[in-house]
């Protein structure tokens, strides 16, 4: 936690560092390089993208737009687990 610059402008690094320290105690490891966060615009062939604060606007400009063009919602059903609150809606792929 004494790493110089750990919190300079990025207070969330403390939380992430604590999660990493706690996780490593129980055998958690870093994700492979394929999961690295990148800040450039553009949809890659990967099936995921973490739109962190600096690029959150791209989630709307490219991420959601890509899902609409790819007709993602047409291939899913909205379901609600029995007894779940209304906000606990999940997407499940429809097998066709």
In terms of pTM, does the model score above 0.85? no
Rounded to an integer, what distance in angstroms lies between the CA atom of residue 43 and that of residue 75? 20
10-42 pLDDT, tens digit per residue, is: 676 778 888 888 999 999 888 888 777 888 898
The percent of residues in the chain predicted with pLDDT above 90, rounded, is 9
> pLDDT at position 58, please?
92
Count of Cβ atoms closer than 10 Å to residue 50 Cβ: 10
**What's the rounded mean pLDDT across residues 86-91?**
51
- CA-wise closest residue to 58 among 45, 71, 40: 40
CB atoms within 10 A of CB 55: 18
């Amino acid at each position: 936690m004494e790493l110089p610059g750990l919190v300079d402008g990025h207070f969330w690094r403390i939380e992430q560092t604590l999660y990493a320290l706690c996780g490593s105690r129980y055998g958690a490891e870093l994700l492979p390089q394929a999961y690295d966060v990148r800040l450039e615009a553009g949809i890659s062939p990967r099936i995921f993208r973490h739109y962190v604060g600096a690029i959150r606007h791209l989630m709307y400009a490219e991420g959601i737009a890509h899902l609409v063009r790819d007709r993602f919602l047409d291939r899913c059903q909205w379901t609600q687990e029995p007894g779940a609150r209304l906000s606990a809606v999940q997407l499940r792929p429809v097998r066709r």
